[in-house]
């Protein structure tokens, strides 16, 4: 038996990924930019077992046989293909991020699984190859392989669509956990519906490509204000797009809106703070580390808060070959 354990963290996009060009291999319609967090890690152990007849997923202490288990098996099939193996595996994963609440649990989950499974099957993958592999599990997972700020290049094909690190100014995020429950519509389904039904989708694709270019420039120039503005505008454009589906989907709730309003008030008071939100009601505020106390004070009582700094790359914790 060979075993490997890996750890990965969620990431929050400043320029969002919303829509696929190829859903078989998770090629995105546009590139995106994110910060990997230093909180809410996922720890995953993969044990390749000669005697096992089927893959087993243990998630949060329980054996799963439903959708997530099938998704993990499909992912392991990719790893087995690369490794030339037909052995089955046991996957045990512990998530500390509130699952399916728009806090990117699939990003940390598939990043940790990519690192652990490739090691357990004896593959030696470099960082771009690990990012590409994680992408096949969940698009945003390609970015959780990378430390700190990451650009996921849209690419033209499987080989060119991976994330890589980009230097950025010193920043922090305040995560406001508005709701920890399961979201009503998965990102995957909502993206599909957006492409099929929103008349605004082409404008989203072209404007996001422009925003990504500007955001990368702002990172290189250390221009926090510009990066912050792009972040908030891009998030609200994504939510406007999602609300324009038929039937419509709305992830933000009144508490989320209240937080966006408080962030505008903070800026009016001279504090550099910009809000974003993924496919759920939780809101994440981008700010300078020195302004974290002002942001947490402004959001006190509205939602449970967590403060994050740029986090580490997904990494291997242990590996034993048998």
Is residue 279 near ligand 2P0 by the rule CB under 6 A?
Answer: yes
Sheet with 172-177, side-by-side order of all strands? 273-276, 283-287, 172-177, 304-308
Q: Tell me the residue nearest to ligand 2P0 as measured from the CB.
A: 139
Is residue 13 near ligand 2P0 by the rule CB under 6 A?
Answer: yes
Binding piece for ligand 2P0, criterion CB under 6 A, among 10-18, 163-171, 285-293, 306-314: 10-18
DSSP class of 219: H
CB 14 within 8 A of CB 35: yes
Closest of 115, 165, 216, 152 to residue 20, by C-alpha: 152
Q: Compute the distance between CA of residue 131 and CA of residue 36 in angstroms, rounded to an integer.
A: 13
Binding piece for ligand 2P0, criterion CB under 6 A, among 9-17, 52-60, 76-84, 214-222: 9-17
Binding piece for ligand 2P0, criterion CB under 6 A, among 15-23, 73-81, 86-94, 157-165: 15-23
Q: Cβ closer to ligand 2P0: 55 or 278?
A: 278
Is residue 188 near ligand 2P0 by the rule CB under 6 A?
Answer: yes
How is 171-183 classified by DSSP, letter by letter? -EEEEEE---SPP
Is residue 276 near ligand 2P0 by the rule CB under 6 A?
Answer: no
Is residue 106 near ligand 2P0 by the rule CB under 6 A?
Answer: yes
Q: Cβ closer to ligand 2P0: 189 or 304?
A: 189
Is residue 139 near ligand 2P0 by the rule CB under 6 A?
Answer: yes
Which residues does 61 contact at the CB level (< 8 Å), separation at least 6? 94
Q: CA 180, 181, 186: angle at the middle one, nearest 5?
A: 115
Is residue 140 near ligand 2P0 by the rule CB under 6 A?
Answer: yes
Q: Which residues pair with 45 in a beta bridge?
A: 5, 92
Binding piece for ligand 2P0, criterion CB under 6 A, among 43-51, 133-141, 159-167, 207-215: 133-141
Binding piece for ligand 2P0, criterion CB under 6 A, among 13-21, 59-67, 78-86, 294-302: 13-21
Q: Cβ closer to ligand 2P0: 80 or 136?
A: 136
Torsion, Cα of 308, 14, 169, 149 (10° steps): 70
DSSP class of 310: B
Query: Which residues within the stretch 19-58 sit at the binding site for ligand 2P0 (CB under 6 A)?
Result: 26, 32
In the complex, what is the shortest distance from the CB of residue 12 to ligand 2P0, in angstroms, rounded to a whole number?
Answer: 7
Choice from 118, 138, 161, 208 touching ligand 2P0 (CB under 6 A): 138
Which single residue is written with the structure tokens 């939780």?
Answer: 282
In the complex, what is the shortest distance from the CB of residue 77 to ligand 2P0, in angstroms, rounded to a whole number?
Answer: 16
Residues in the chain: 322
- Total residues contacting ligand 2P0 by CB under 6 A comes to 14
Closest of 126, 164, 159, 136 to residue 34, by C-alpha: 164
In the complex, what is the shortest distance from the CB of residue 188 to ligand 2P0, in angstroms, rounded to a whole number?
Answer: 4
> Site map for ligand 2P0, 219-258, x if CB under 6 A?
----------------------------------------
Q: Compute the distance between CA of residue 35 and CA of residue 166 in angstroms, rounded to an integer.
A: 10
Phi-psi region of 273 (alpha: psi -120 to 50; beta: other; left: phi over 0): beta
Residue 206 has which token pair?
Answer: 């072209």
Q: Which residues bind to ligand 2P0, rule: CB under 6 A?
A: 13, 16-18, 26, 32, 106, 138-140, 187-188, 278-279
């Amino acid at each position: 038996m060979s075993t490997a354990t890996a750890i990965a963290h969620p990431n929050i996009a400043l320029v969002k990924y919303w829509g696929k060009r190829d859903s078989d291999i998770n090629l995105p319609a546009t590139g995106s930019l994110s910060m990997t967090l230093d909180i809410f890690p996922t720890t995953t152990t993969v044990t390749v077992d000669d005697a096992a007849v089927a893959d087993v997923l243990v998630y949060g202490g329980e054996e799963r046989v439903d959708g997530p288990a099938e998704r993990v098996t499909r992912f392991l099939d990719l790893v087995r293909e690369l490794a030339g193996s037909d052995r089955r595996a046991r996957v045990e994963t512990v998530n500390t991020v509130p699952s399916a609440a728009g806090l990117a649990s699939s990003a940390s989950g598939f990043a940790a699984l990519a690192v652990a499974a490739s090691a357990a099957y004896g593959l030696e993958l470099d960082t771009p190859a690990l990012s590409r592999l994680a992408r096949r599990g969940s698009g945003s997972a390609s970015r959780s392989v990378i430390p700190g700020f990451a650009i996921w290049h849209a690419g033209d094909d499987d080989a060119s669509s991976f994330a890589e690190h980009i230097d950025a100014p010193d920043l922090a995020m305040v995560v406001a956990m508005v709701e920890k429950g399961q979201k009503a519509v998965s990102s995957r389904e909502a993206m599909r519906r957006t492409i099929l039904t929103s008349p605004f989708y082409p404008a989203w694709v072209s404007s996001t490509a422009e925003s990504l270019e500007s955001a990368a420039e702002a990172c290189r120039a250390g221009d926090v204000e510009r990066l912050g503005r792009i972040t908030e505008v891009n998030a609200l454009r994504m939510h406007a797009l999602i609300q324009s589906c038929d039937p419509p989907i709305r992830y933000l709730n009144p508490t989320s809106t209240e937080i966006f309003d408080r962030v505008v008030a903070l800026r009016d008071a001279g504090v550099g703070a910009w809000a974003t939100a993924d496919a759920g009601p939780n809101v994440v505020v981008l700010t300078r580390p020195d302004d974290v106390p002002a942001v947490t004070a402004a959001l006190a009582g509205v939602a449970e808060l967590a403060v994050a700094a740029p986090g580490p790359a997904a990494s291997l914790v242990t590996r034993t070959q048998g």
